[in-house]
Amino acid sequence: MATHATTSPKHAEVRTAEQVTELKHQWIEYQRRNALKTTAQRELIVDVFLNGGTSDSHVSIDDLLASVRRRNPKVGYATVYRTVKHLLDAGLAASRQFGDGQTRYEVAGSELRHHDHLICQKCRLILEFEEPEIERLQDSVASRLGGFKVMQHKLELYGLCPKEQGVVGGSCPSEDLRQVESGRR
Amino acid sequence: MATHATTSPKHAEVRTAEQVTELKHQWIEYQRRNALKTTAQRELIVDVFLNGGTSDSHVSIDDLLASVRRRNPKVGYATVYRTVKHLLDAGLAASRQFGDGQTRYEVAGSELRHHDHLICQKCRLILEFEEPEIERLQDSVASRLGGFKVMQHKLELYGLCPKEQGVVGGSCPSEDLRQVESGRR
DNA sequence: CTAGATGCAAAAGTTTTGCAAAGCC
DNA sequence: GGCTTTGCAAAACTTTTGCATCTAG
């Protein structure tokens, strides 16, 4: 019953080298299965995405493109969109919409642990947490709904981080993990 | 511990007359607090929305506008957007994005029970369910994250309804509640 | 009369698509 | 060489905004 939710103490992308290697294997397999050609642009995009070339763990297409262009300025929007679609299809990326008008993508993969999100409604800080209990709950609901087969879930908690509650000495769990600086819409 | 998830057996909008009355009270209060003027268009939009003039309980702006125009063809998009914003602000509407590219709105209100969603990834059927247990879980997570104050949550389960699993005699929990006919994008 | 509301059209933002040129196999 | 992929620009969508006009209070 020890439900232990955790925020990872380290910044942004926390993926071990082994995990990245495994993710790349999955990508290569996907490429093979779908007879995709290996192009410099696509490889770069996938690489940047999986390695979290951005300090941000929930990248928008813009974020991703910006990172990619730092290494190859000629890559176009369309290519990023098309590649991300492949990554989603391959199960290596998952999309999220936290209500700020932008679709964000994060790395997903069979060996990465599933997590959910907590979003500060004021400062737009995005925190991740794990809650094993929820899988149980998910199944219990599914079974009640007559044969529905649940494949995945998304749980988002919205609220206020200590800082935004006006707590003077409040210790924001991750002082500098702020994801969306000020919103861009 | 009796976690009882339920799908409402009735179709689409299931709100009693009393509930609608109460919702309208809330709207009137909001109007007063914010010194909004009473205009025919806005009243119509609010009315259509709260009464679920659409057979759909998760309406998009387009859905809503279409219903509204059936009663007054001159109402414009902007007015609907602006009115929905008020409804959100008043806490009478809640927005959801189920990943089909459209923002959907549903009626919310203090006296209506909170519910979550189960979405069939193939046929886009949207089912609602209640799961009391999740509130507990939400609090337990929040307390672990150092002073975060959780205001609300969104839980979405994605999977396959019996019909789409290829189950021959599968009884889809709500044979005709299909929300999104085929996607419109 | 006056501040707020409406409708239209234009603008802004995001995602998709058509197509010629370029690249992989 | 043939089929895929790319990049650009245009198109398609959704949502927001500016502004002249209208209207509730």
Return the domain boundaries, chain B: 4-184
Q: Out of B5-14, B122-131, B145-154, which region has the weakest mean confidence (pLDDT)? A: B5-14
pLDDT in tens, A43-96: 999 999 999 755 557 999 999 999 999 999 999 999 999 999 999 999 999 999
A38 touches strand C (CB under 7 A): yes
Q: Is the dihedral of CA B29, B33, B39, B44 positive or negative?
A: negative
In tens, the pLDDT along A125-146 reads 888 888 888 888 888 888 888 7
Spatial contact of A54 and A63, defined as CB atoms under 8 Å apart = yes
**Which of A8, A145, A158, A160 is best to mutate for the B interface (most B CBs within 10 A)?**
A145
Q: Which has the closest alpha carbon to B166: A149, A113, A33?
A: A149
- Alpha carbon distance A143, A132 (integer Å): 18
- The pLDDT, as a whole number, for residue B3 is 40
Task: Show residues of chain A in contact with B4, CB under 8 Å.
Answer: 144
Instruction: Give me the CA B78–C1' D16 separation in Å, rounded.
Output: 8
Chain B residue at shortest CA distance from A100: B97
A4-184 adopts what CATH topology? Answer: Arc Repressor Mutant, subunit A (1.10.10)
Per-residue model confidence (pLDDT) at position A176: 38
* Sequence-separated contacts (24+) of B27-34 with Cβ below 8 Å: B27/B87, B27/B90, B27/B92, B30/B86, B30/B89, B30/B90, B30/B92, B34/B86
Of the candidates A157, A98, A126, A149, the residue with the CA atom closest to the CA atom of residue B157: A149
Report whether B57 contacts B66 (CB < 8 A). Answer: no
Question: Per the CB < 8 Å rule, is A153 touching B155?
Answer: yes
- Residue A71 tokens, joined: 């290494």
CA–CA separation, A126 vs A158, rounded Å? 10
